[in-house]
Amino acid sequence: MKVPAVFFTRSLAKLLIGLVVLSIAAVSRLYGEERPNILLILADDLGYGDVGFNGSEDIVTPELDRLAKEGTVFSSAYAVHPFCGPSRMALLTGRYPHAIGVPYNLPSYSSGRHRDKGVPTAEVLLSSVLKNAGYATGLMGKWHLGHAPEFHPNQRGFDEFYGFLGGGILYFGPYQAQNEEGTVWDYRVYPEYNGVSDKTLGKDDYMTDILSDKGVEFIRKQSKSDAPFFLFMSYNAPHTLLAAKQDDLDRFPALEGKRKIYAAMVYALDRGVGRLVDALEETKELENTLIVFFSDNGGRLDQGASNGELRGAKGDVQEGGFRTPMFMHWPEGIERRQIIDTPVSALDLFPSFARIANAELAENEILDGVDILPLLRGEPSEADDRAIFAARHRMVHTEVSGRNDRWKLIWESEEGPWRLYDLETDISEQHDLSDVYPAQVSALLDDIGSWLSEHIEPLWFYSEEEAEAWAREDMPKYEEMLSGDSDASEVAH
């Protein structure tokens, strides 16, 4: 129906002009003319189905839900690896861990093994790129990229670090100093601030709250500076060992056992996010702060987590192993209340953040992700037509998957076969379509083969047993997977 001209009033014209101005401003910010702060919030072992904005009914996450509702939710977001260390290494290097030799967790320092190993210093971390671009940089929480001095966060681009170098820490003290032999279990060692042990914590201090406290302090401090900041809140919650405050446990009277404790831990993380947002609002930094939230991998079903409809769990290349909740929130920079179904990877954050920060990358810099800012503007993106991969080495075989658009090809056992799933209609990976769509199998198998060819030998193994099995079993057995032995591969070739 044609709108009568009388309705096109001067007031409406002013409104339209205002909207155009706001749109131009938003686009300008996306192209980096006004650089935002960046707050990256990473959960640890959070299940896909354990936040309200992804459909959780028994675990409440009001703070995360509020940000997700007012931001952009990514329904098909992937961590780079299905467990902690390699996932975080990939996030900060922008590289698939297998391409730089780091597909295994580092052993605990107290084990005495590989204490001199870490993410190679030749790899320039995201933190260094942003620091060189003029950002103040802070990390609160879990590191897991190396214990030796040259791998310390303060040597890898972070101005401030409060947390722990290993894969975790007890949620409640008391903590203790590491001994000369280094045999005190990593989880019991004092957290540190820029290399100095924090011996002030008592038995009632809760680590998730402590990390949130430190994040709030960083925001308030940096708000007094003209420089933008990058704050990486690298929570260890809800990773084991499960522990929660009684007040948080009391919020979930209908739950029992590990699910109850896990729920309380997720709630504490959510509460911490709320405090970070409050600090941004108090300091008038919220409007121009890009907040990104996701998890380092899927949840552990044996430790109270739920991955919703997804098959598999932490450690798997099935969807439940590395598909995670994710949103972006940036009032002055991106459209609100949108859902993006295009598959994205944690690898995409490095080039996207670098773009936002107007950061310079070395000419020889290799990044495995793509800039996803065009997706936020509804424009064509490299993410629209690229494959996202995952691989996990088991003792005697390697699990591998590749997804492009709606199609996912997966090899998940020693014998195979390759299976093809349409994730748009089968998010739970129940119906193998490899016989029906051989062309899709062939295309994805070619992509996977090219990706596997870029892998190098691991620089370390988590255990002696894994190192011995690697040599004994002639791992990683990529040629066997790609040789056409399975029925699906025969269809593809």
Domain boundaries, the chain: 36-382, 387-492
Cβ neighbors of 450 (< 8 A, separation 6 or more) are none
How buried is 18 (Cβ within 10 angstroms: 0-12 exposed, 13-18 middle, 19+ buried)?
exposed
Alpha-carbon span 60 to 251, nearest angstrom? 9
* pLDDT at residue 14, as a whole number: 38
Alpha-carbon span 312 to 430, nearest angstrom? 12
pTM for the predicted model, two decimal places: 0.92
Alpha-carbon span 50 to 264, nearest angstrom? 11
Residue 71 near residue 329, CB atoms below 8 Å: yes
The stretch 300-328 carries a mean pLDDT of 98
* pLDDT at residue 195, as a whole number: 98
Residue 5 near residue 13, CB atoms below 8 Å: no
How buried is 485 (Cβ within 10 angstroms: 0-12 exposed, 13-18 middle, 19+ buried)?
middle
The stretch 163-174 carries a mean pLDDT of 97
3-state DSSP call for residue 493? Answer: coil
Residue 312 near residue 322, CB atoms below 8 Å: no
List active site positions.
84, 144
pLDDT at 24 over 50: no
Residue 280 near residue 260, CB atoms below 8 Å: no
The stretch 152-179 carries a mean pLDDT of 98
* pLDDT at residue 34, as a whole number: 81
Residue with token string 């499960």: 242
Question: Is the CATH number 3.40.1400.10 carried by domain 387-492?
Answer: no
Alpha-carbon span 488 to 493, nearest angstrom? 9
Cβ neighbors of 220 (< 8 A, separation 6 or more) are 279, 282, 283
Kindly state the tokens that stand for 110.
């107290």
* pLDDT at residue 485, as a whole number: 53
pLDDT band at 493 (very low <50, low <70, confident <90, very high): very low
pLDDT at 178 over 80: yes
CATH architecture of 36-382: 3-Layer(aba) Sandwich (3.40)
The stretch 352-356 carries a mean pLDDT of 98
